[in-house]
């Protein structure tokens, strides 16, 4: 089959296209399909109009239009739809039911409704976008929030099939009236691990080779900052020789606040904030940690998320202590491939991290089991086979026949 993926934004610097769309596309091509990704490169305007190949997948960056968001919306949506239809695909798969790609998909549905023969529309959702979801984390205007919430609900009901990245999303999509047969659980998966050189990173940041290191790989918005500060202070009190390696950058200067709290609380000398690092260096940074923590507040946003960062940590063979929220409990077999905590019990997480820091054998046990559990149960090759079967089951059906 010929398949077009509609991307929500450009390939750089955000991670959805590289972390989710490209691996699925590559594995579908390994099954004999041809996949083309059509993207609106407003996040990487230097690629406007450029066609590139990523992991063997052709990616078409449509030419950008007006800079003003309102004026750009119809122009980019039309250009995305035109680029998609020019490929003469058997189906179009929209990733994220919002924004420019969502508008292009809405145009596609409208063409279907007036009797024009166009490819079937499938939808992928990896976040809850509307009320209580990602809308609440962005500085959108009231009109934008209402429109994105409308797009999410309307497009979900129109699609010939919906792929969902988490069990939480599966439940919400069912609530929108989509039958179980019209959905496919398609969480973020992994391929073969990429070995990292943790020693290089430790040397670069002045961390002793034998120092116990707690790794935090994050964007900060998934948890209460007070909780993070408490965890670090408590872990440092229980394991004074610990070092904290923080990889990632927040939206509102959370890393600077962490450094200030560290100075006030007495663990500044233990804290290394690497910030945003090049994707190629991520395996090295993950390998530099001994125990990774994954705090995750019990919110609607988190219950529906499918955190690719957690899969990267587990694939790197790090022992993980995480909160028992949403998809995290799918990725971790508690007590065997990682440790899960009550998200409201901050002392439980701090205590379990401290215990692990003092047991190299247990770290290695959990780290190895975590990697193997992920590879056995969440691999892109198996996911692509399931998606191929789902396409074939749903293609004879129109969006309105459910």
Say yes or no to pLDDT of 196 above 70. Answer: yes
Residue 75 in 3-state DSSP? Answer: helix
Of the pLDDT bands very low, low, confident and very high (cuts 50, 70, 90), residue 397 is low
Q: What is the pLDDT of residue 16?
A: 77
Answer yes or no: are the C-beta atoms of 97 and 69 closer than 8 Å. Answer: no
Say yes or no to pLDDT of 274 above 50. Answer: yes
The Cβ-side half-sphere exposure at 314, using a 13 Å CA radius, reads 33
Per-residue pLDDT tens for 172-182? 999 999 999 99
Of the pLDDT bands very low, low, confident and very high (cuts 50, 70, 90), residue 66 is confident
Per-residue pLDDT tens for 109-118? 999 999 999 9
Q: What is the pLDDT of residue 401?
A: 38
Q: Do strands 57-61 and 51-54 pair parallel, antiparallel, or not at all (unpaired)? A: antiparallel
User: How far is C-alpha 153 from the geometric centre of its chain's CA atoms?
Assistant: 21
Across 65-81, average pLDDT:
89
Q: What is the pLDDT of residue 26?
A: 97
Sorted by where each starts, the structural domains of the chain and their CATH numbers stand as 2-189+380-401 (3.40.50.2000), 198-377 (3.40.50.2000)
Q: How far apart are CA 6 and CA 195, in angstroms?
A: 32
Per-residue pLDDT tens for 127-153? 999 888 888 888 888 888 999 999 999
Q: What is the pLDDT of residue 343?
A: 98
Answer yes or no: are the C-beta atoms of 8 and 96 closer than 8 Å. Answer: yes
Across 230-235, average pLDDT:
98
Q: Is the pTM of this model over 0.75?
A: yes
Q: How far apart are CA 92 and CA 98, in angstroms?
A: 15
Q: What percent of the chain has pLDDT over 70?
A: 98
């Amino acid at each position: 089959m010929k398949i077009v993926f509609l991307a929500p934004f450009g390939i750089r610097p955000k991670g959805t296209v590289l972390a989710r769309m490209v691996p699925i596309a590559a594995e579908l091509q390994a099954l004999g399909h041809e996949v083309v990704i059509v993207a609106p490169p407003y996040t990487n305007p230097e690629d406007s109009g450029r066609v590139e190949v990523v992991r063997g997948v052709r990616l078409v960056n449509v030419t950008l239009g007006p800079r003003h968001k309102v004026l750009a919306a119809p122009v980019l949506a039309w250009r995305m739809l035109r680029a998609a239809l020019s490929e003469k695909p058997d189906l179009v798969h929209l990733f994220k039911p919002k924004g420019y790609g969502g508008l292009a998909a809405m145009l596609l549905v409208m063409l279907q409704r007036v009797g024009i023969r166009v490819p079937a529309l499938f939808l992928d959702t990896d976040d809850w976008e509307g009320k209580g979801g990602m809308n609440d984390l962005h500085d959108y205007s009231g009109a934008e929030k209402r429109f994105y919430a409308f797009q999410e609900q309307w497009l979900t009901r129109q699609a010939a099939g919906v792929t969902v990245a988490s069990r939480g999303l599966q439940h919400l999509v069912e609530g929108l009236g989509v039958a179980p047969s019209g959905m496919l659980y398609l969480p973020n998966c992994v391929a073969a691990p990429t070995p990292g050189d943790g020693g290089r990173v430790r040397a670069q940041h002045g961390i002793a080779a034998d120092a116990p290191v707690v790794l935090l790989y994050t964007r900060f918005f998934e948890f209460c900052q007070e909780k993070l500060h408490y965890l670090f202070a408590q872990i440092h009190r229980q394991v004074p020789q610990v070092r904290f390696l923080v990889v990632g950058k927040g939206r509102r200067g959370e890393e600077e606040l962490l450094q200030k709290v560290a100075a006030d609380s007495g663990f500044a000398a233990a804290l290394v904030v690497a910030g945003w690092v090049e994707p190629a260096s991520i395996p090295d940074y993950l390998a530099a940690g001994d125990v990774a923590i994954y705090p995750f507040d019990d919110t609607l946003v988190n219950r529906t998320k499918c955190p690719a960062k957690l899969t990267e940590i587990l694939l790197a063979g790090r022992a993980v202590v995480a909160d028992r929220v949403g998809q995290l409990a799918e990725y971790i077999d508690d007590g065997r491939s990682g440790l899960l905590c009550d998200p409201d019990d901050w002392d439980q997480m701090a205590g379990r991290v401290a215990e692990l820091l003092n047991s190299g054998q247990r770290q290695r046990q959990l780290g190895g089991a975590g990697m193997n559990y992920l590879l056995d149960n969440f691999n892109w090759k198996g996911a692509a086979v399931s998606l191929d079967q789902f396409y074939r089951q749903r293609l004879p059906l129109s969006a309105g026949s459910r």
